[in-house]
Amino acid sequence: MYEFVRGPLALIAFIIFFAGSIYRIAYMLKGAKKDKIVFSHMSWKHSLASLVHWLIPFNNQYMRRRPIFTVVTFAFHICLVIGPLLLLGHVMLIQESWNISWWTLSETLVDWMTVVVIAGAAFFLYRRLSDPVVKNVTDSSDYILLAITVLPFITGFVAYHQLFAYKTMLIIHILAGEIMLIAIPFTRLSHMLFFAFTRTYYGSESGLVRHSKDW
């Protein structure tokens, strides 16, 4: 089972992730091309300004009004992306499978980053359950997506510390990671693909058309 999930199933998950991501981006660009307004409003100056301001913590009014949410959101997303990419075990598996490798972070640091992701997920869950505004726009799919996002980290943490049957938890961890990869292009997790495009569009529209700032 282990060899299957880390071999053929992992390859299938990566193919679906990359093919799905390319398709979603191409489909979005095709739709934007048909809409004559989108590209006519594009401005490198305003696009880059918007991206920079939204990538720096507390660099816009929305973030400054929600300091705790801002700190948790940035920490969560940084650890969510950087941790798995630079974990020694993951890089070694990729090197064994496809002879590709890159530098890594210490396992202790990635372990703490995993804790940050799990704590961040708990914060977002609490926010959805307790904040009336957020709760009002939350449905079952939001909880499912949160579970899909955090489960690879919970299972990875448990497997790393061998708190349960190691081989079983490792298999569940790999499966959870593959499910997350497959889900990214086809769910609201795709915001990771479209963030730059969204900020580019809103930044251009605000600066070039409305002559205002979107931060």
* pTM of the predicted structure, to 2 decimals: 0.88
Q: Do the beta carbons of residue 149 and residue 180 sit within 8 Å?
A: yes
Residue at 185 is within a domain: yes
Domains in the chain, number: 1
- 96-101, long-range: CB < 8 A, 24+ apart: 97/7, 97/10, 97/11
Exposed / middle / buried, residue 162 (Cβ in 10 Å: 0-12, 13-18, 19+): exposed
State the distance between the two ends of the chain, measured CA to CA, in whole angstroms.
50
Q: Which domain holds residue 191?
A: 2-209
Residue at 199 is within a domain: yes
Could you tell me the mean pLDDT of each successive run of 10 residues in the chain, 215 residues long?
A: 86 95 91 73 83 87 91 96 94 86 94 98 96 92 96 96 92 96 95 88 80 73
Residue at 149 is within a domain: yes
Q: Is residue 87 classed as helix, strand or coil in its secondary structure?
A: strand
Q: What is the dihedral of CA 171, 174, 178, 179, to 10 degrees?
A: 60
Residue in the structure block whose two tokens are 């934007």: 32
Residue at 148 is within a domain: yes
Residue at 195 is within a domain: yes
Q: At 152, list the tokens.
A: 């690879």
Predicted local confidence at residue 28, as pLDDT: 86
Q: Can you spell out the DSSP letters for 146-159?
A: HHHHHHHHHHHHHH
Q: Nearest 5°: CA angle at 193, between 87 and 113?
A: 25
Q: Do the beta carbons of residue 180 and residue 20 sit within 8 Å?
A: no
Give me Rg for the CA atoms of the chain. 19
Residue at 11 is within a domain: yes
Q: Which of 158, 179, 183 is nearest to 169 (CA)?
A: 158
Residue at 107 is within a domain: yes
CATH of residue 79's domain is: 1.20.950
Residue at 214 is within a domain: no
Q: Is residue 206 classed as helix, strand or coil in its secondary structure?
A: helix
